Homo-oligomer: A and B are copies of this chain.
Amino acid sequence: MEILIVEDEERIANTLKKNFIKEGHHAVVALNGEDAIESMQGSHFDIILLDWRLPKLTGLELCKKLRSTGNDTPIILLTALNDIQNKVDALEAGADDYITKPFSFEEVTARINAVLRRYKATIKKIPFGEMNLNLIDRTVEHENKLIKLSAREFELLKYFLFNKGTIINKEKICKDVWNFDFSPMTNVIEVTVKNLRKKLETEANCSFIKTIYGEGYLFLAD
């Protein structure tokens, strides 16, 4: 797991980091809000532990900033205070949970697991077979490999997943994926299906898209 620790007290930050690494995770420390933003460019984190009091940008401000720019990485605020106002502010700023200092490492991992459990219910990935369609990056993930999809392939796969288990005819695909109201004069659909099949089935070793002769396609997975 990739963990970002945003904490100006180096002692606390390093203790957390050591413990996470001991548990087999990967942890990065940022000593202030600006460093944190810096660290997040390009990299992906599964969770952010964020100190409430930070030099320059406060934890609350950073939290708001991240949320306002569409970043929804789970955030746990670390706060020294234990008054109710904090909790309200924290949740309103878009944090997922908070831990009051001093805390034990066990408490931190417990909170992380709880937050991630909740978060995973809303994560923007659609699983099928051994794969996942990542709706944000528009890629298919399989055993830490990434398959890039073109825009059309992405839309078609999303459509198949939405309708998995039911036969869909080409008129509907044409209408819903291509936004054509008239029926396709050519075989664009078949060609796109072919290309999508190749991408998916080169990676996984099974076929998801079944052809129902004279009727359409049927997507099977799980």
Q: What is A's interface to B at a CB cutoff of 8 Å?
A: 37, 41-42, 68-72, 94, 121-122, 124-126, 133, 135-136, 158, 161-164, 172, 175-176, 179
Q: Are B68 and A126 in contact (CB under 8 A)?
A: yes
Q: Are B42 and A176 in contact (CB under 8 A)?
A: yes
Number of this chain's copies in the assembly equals 2
Q: Given the interface contacts A42-B176, A42-B179, A136-B135, does A72 sit within 8 Å of B162 by beta carbon?
A: no
Q: Are B161 and A69 in contact (CB under 8 A)?
A: yes
Instruction: Tell me which of B37, B41, B70, B133 contacts A124 (CB under 8 A).
Output: B70
**A135 to B71 alpha-carbon distance, docked (Å):** 11
A136 partner residues in chain B, CB cutoff 8 A: 135
Q: Given the interface contacts A42-B175, A179-B42, does A122 sit within 8 Å of B71 by beta carbon?
A: no
Residue among A41, A72, A125, A179 with the most chain B CB within 10 A?
A41
Q: Are A72 and B135 in contact (CB under 8 A)?
A: no
**A162 to B158 alpha-carbon distance, docked (Å):** 27
5 pairs of residues in contact across A and B, judged by CB atoms under 8 Å: A68-B126, A69-B126, A70-B158, A71-B162, A72-B122
A161 and chain B: residue at smallest CB distance: B69
